[in-house]
Amino acid sequence: MTGDMTADIDRLRRLLGNSEIAWLRARVRRRLERGRPLTGSITLAHATAEQRRAVELLLGRRVGTGASISVRLAEVDRILRDSGACPDGLAAAVELLDGPVRDRVRERAENAAAWRAAFAPLDAAVRGRAELDGWRAWLDSTGLVRRLTAGPEEAAGVLCRLAAVVERLPSSGIPLGRLAAETCGDAHALDEGSALATLALSAARALAGLPHTGEGTAEARRAAWAAVGVHLDELSSVVLSLGLPGDDHTPLGRLLGTARTAGEPLVLTLRQLHRHRGPLPAPGLVRLCENPVVIAAAADDLGPACPPLVCVSGRPSTAVWRLLELLEAGGAEFAYHGDFDWGGIAIAAAVRERVGWRPWRYDAPSYLAALATVSGGPLTGRPRPAPWDPELTAAMAERGVRVDEELVLSGLLADLRG
């Protein structure tokens, strides 16, 4: 500015600093913040008499008699410069009267750059993993990370740890606390309730082929982690079996032997399976079912004569995976049966990818034969591929009928007797 600073400020306040013309300063400030030029006109609808007099004092002329006032910004800028009230013009005048103008364009660019930097470790962790593409896009579309964190600075730390967790999934079987300690340096980092735990659980669900959000129950959380080989503790992860052979020289072998002799189902914990050293010798074929009702019916019907049978109990827990690995290492082969619905197909495909099996009354001919004798419910959900028999997916999609495992128990029991 030029001339006497005090006199300039006083003149500026008389022309542009009163409350009746604050609306004009506010409009100019918004334009400056958005990086827009101070050209054209601005209009105030329904102006009061005081607001009209303030504008007339600024412009030195009448502004009409209508309800609204229009002011050309170039004219205001010229008046401020020529009068000496603010030789640097309108933009400088607004800053002198109301403080510095924020550069919102620059702030937005810096904020976007900060968020890109925050997500960079996670983007590197998911790059090339097609199974996580949808999940990564979902994080952006829902704004979940932005809602769970206070800003890009906090998010950067969360996403860096999340990337380390994602790189370790799926796991071959690890406690959640150990996973947290090894990836985040804190055994409680993945405890329920934190932003990191919420995001990591959604990643686990995505890897397991589940919806990215699910039921908030402890059981749903446990199942989602188990689907990617992570267990919350060694005692809550269990597997149900019947008729598995045992031995006399290991604790697990003696348990299995006692249960087989008694013809009773046996619930094994992940702790017991983890402490077993070496494979579990299994004679030939081990049949797998999806639902505990098959185990119960087989125990009632065959007792000690039941051949080896393992229940995956829906989506397999870490204990199920561990038992199947021990049996496979011992030379077992597997035959699988499950529900004829899309969830059952997905579970069967996951088991087949992990250990391999041949169908046990679980193909298109078996499905069509079941429809001839039982009445199933409506088949809902999205069709899933059945790699062991593509015709099964086609038949189920065409018929649209769900057949639960319980409805074909008689055929399964007949095979077990044979």
At 316, which CATH number? Answer: 3.40.1360.10
Average pLDDT, stretch 386-407?
Answer: 96
* Rg of the chain, C-alpha, whole Å: 35
* Residues 269 and 158 grouped into a single domain: no
Average pLDDT, stretch 265-273?
Answer: 93
* Residues 199 and 301 grouped into a single domain: no
Among 231, 258, 275, identify where a domain stops: 231
* Residues 202 and 302 grouped into a single domain: no
Count of helix runs (H) and strand runs (E) in the chain: 20, 12
What percent of the chain is predicted at pLDDT more than 70?
Answer: 98
* Residues 61 and 124 grouped into a single domain: no
* Residues 32 and 157 grouped into a single domain: no
* Residues 98 and 109 grouped into a single domain: no
Average pLDDT, stretch 220-243?
Answer: 85
Contact yes or no for 341/294 (Cβ under 8 A): no
Among 176, 208, 231, identify where a domain stops: 231
Q: Which residues of 315-334 are buried (b: 16+ CB within 10 A; e: fewer)?
A: bbbbbbbbbbbbbbeeebeb
Quick check: 409 pLDDT over 50?
Answer: yes
Reading phi first (left if > 0) and then psi (alpha if -120 to 50, else beta), residue 35 is in left
Among 190, 213, 231, identify where a domain stops: 231
* Residues 184 and 246 grouped into a single domain: no
The domain in which residue 43 lies consists of 5-102
Quick check: 4 pLDDT over 70?
Answer: no
Quick check: 12 pLDDT over 80?
Answer: yes
- pLDDT per residue over 304-346, tens digit each? 999 999 999 988 888 898 899 999 999 999 999 999 999 999 9
- Alpha-carbon span 64 to 56, nearest angstrom: 10
* Residues 273 and 388 grouped into a single domain: yes
Task: List C-alpha distances in Å: 290 to 316, 348, 389.
Answer: 9, 9, 18
Contact yes or no for 168/129 (Cβ under 8 A): no
Complete DSSP assignment for 286-347: EEEESSHHHHHHHHHHHGGGPPPEEE--SSPPHHHHHHHHHHHHTT-EEEE---BSHHHHHH
Quick check: 5 pLDDT over 80?
Answer: no
Domain count, the chain: 3
Quick check: 113 pLDDT over 80?
Answer: yes
Q: What is the model's pLDDT at position 304?
A: 96
* Residues 409 and 278 grouped into a single domain: yes
Q: What is the mean pLDDT of the chain?
A: 91
Q: How confident is the model at residue 1 (pLDDT cuts 50, 70, 90)?
A: very low
Average pLDDT, stretch 108-112?
Answer: 90
Q: How confident is the model at residue 6 (pLDDT cuts 50, 70, 90)?
A: very low
Looking at the DSSP assignment, which residues form a beta bridge with residue 241?
Answer: 266, 310
* Residues 242 and 97 grouped into a single domain: no
- pTM comes to 0.58
- pLDDT per residue over 56-78, tens digit each? 999 999 987 788 999 999 999 99
* Residues 21 and 119 grouped into a single domain: no
- Alpha-carbon span 27 to 405, nearest angstrom: 70
Task: List C-alpha distances in Å: 45 to 56, 75, 134, 195.
Answer: 16, 19, 48, 47
Cβ–Cβ contacts within 10 Å for residue 133, how many? 13
Quick check: 92 pLDDT over 70?
Answer: yes
* Residues 24 and 95 grouped into a single domain: yes
Q: Which of 266, 175, 180 is nearest to 222 (CA)?
A: 175
Give 193-196's long-range contacts (Cβ < 8 A, gap of 24+).
195/145, 195/148, 195/149, 195/158, 196/158, 196/161, 196/162, 196/165
Residue 276's φ and ψ, nearest 5 degrees, are -80, 130
